[in-house]
Structure 1
Amino acid sequence: MIGAKLSCNYYMNTLRGTEMTQQMANVVYSRTQFVTVVLSSLTLSLLHNETVDGPYKEYNMEINL
């Protein structure tokens, strides 16, 4: 009887741990996605500014050096 209780408790704790791990993974994933989107949009804007003659041309030349 005690063994059954222990294994049941262990199982429930494992489930809870898995749920928490999954939630953490979701948070980390969403943050990573957000950072990736921000970085890619920054890169795209820099590339765009490089190809277009405009006020950002000198700034981009500094970055390239």
Structure 2
Amino acid sequence: MDYYNKTADECLKDLRTSIEGLSDEEAENRIKLYGLNEIEQKNKISPFKIFLEQFMSPLVIIL
């Protein structure tokens, strides 16, 4: 995957695309195959909880 060491043509070949990009049909096929290009969010910790956890540190309690 070291794309930084490859030429643009080699990268396009590896990614099975062209300089014009993917066709609508190919994009739909890849969405079905790989899913949407989204980062899954885990349980988000609220800023208030992060703030309260700062005071649970033994060093903070001593100070």
TM-score, reference length from structure 1: 0.28
Could you say which structure has the greater relative contact order, defined with CA pairs below 8 angstroms and 6 or more residues apart?
A: 1
Q: Which has the larger radius of gyration?
A: 1
TM-score, reference length from structure 2: 0.29
